[in-house]
Amino acid sequence: MAKKAKIKVNQAEVAGRVRKIFPVLKKMYPDARIALNFKNPLELLIATILSAQCTDVRVNIVTETLFKKYKSAADWAKADIKEIESDIKSTGFYHNKAVNIKGACGEIIERFGGKVPKTMEELVTLPGVGRKTANVVLGNAFGVPGIACDTHVIRLSRRLELSGNSDPVKLEFDLAEIIPRKDWTMFSHLLIFHGRNICKARKPDCGNCGIARYCPAANNPKLW
């Protein structure tokens, strides 16, 4: 497969595109929200770590029982690693996830008084927590705006030519320049919902896309 050409972005033009598509997407997905089930920041942190290379549906099935067993950072930190692995095995990559969850909870106890930290700078110091996971926790557990660049956000940002970058961190910074800060979290949710329902990876449904008229890649397979 030929390598896709680098997208050149005019920031003012792209910001205008965002202003047009945002209200349309909000109307299309009035209930857009994070798909992971959680009751507190720790549960969301664990669920987000488990969601790597796993569907949100599977994670929710696993955590329904998991969060009744492990109710605090201390519960995770003191648990046997093999037991954690067994409990999360169906989410895949269970060894690394178990190590990261146990390690992160240990750090939360030792350095943050048993509470999940509320800043990007602190969150990314925890094992298994990168900027995407931190933004998910900040935006959905603490109400701190964050852009979570998952596969849907990356794919749609390229098709909509919002950025020339596919690297999640570089894309996050690019989007932060063109999207009002107060909308960062919701914009991520909207792109994820749209990516799951209409703008799918293999074949986007451009005929039923409410923002197709603003999309450079609409009905153009070469740009998918």
Residue 33, both tokens: 């929200």
Q: Which residue has the tokens 């048993």?
A: 114
Per-domain residue ranges for the chain?
11-31+149-223, 41-141
Cα gap 162→1, rounded to integer Å: 23
Cα gap 204→13, rounded to integer Å: 23
Residuewise pLDDT in 10s, the chain (224 residues):
445 556 777 889 999 999 999 999 999 999 999 999 999 999 999 999 999 999 999 999 999 999 999 999 999 999 999 999 999 999 999 999 999 999 999 999 999 999 999 999 999 999 999 999 999 999 999 999 999 999 999 999 999 999 999 999 999 999 999 999 999 999 999 999 999 999 999 999 999 999 999 999 998 888 88
Mind telling me the catalytic residues?
A: 132, 150
Q: Mind listing the pLDDT tens digit for each residue in 84-138?
A: 999 999 999 999 999 999 999 999 999 999 999 999 999 999 999 999 999 999 9
Q: What is the pLDDT of residue 24?
A: 98
Q: What is the pLDDT of residue 1?
A: 42
Cα gap 175→138, rounded to integer Å: 17
CATH 2.40.240.10 fits 11-31+149-223, yes or no: no
Q: Which residue has the tokens 């852009």?
A: 147
Determine the length of the chain. 224
**Angle (nearest 5°) at CA 50 between 56 and 80:** 145
Q: Which pTM does this prediction carry?
A: 0.93
CATH fold, domain 41-141, is Endonuclease III; domain 1 (1.10.340)
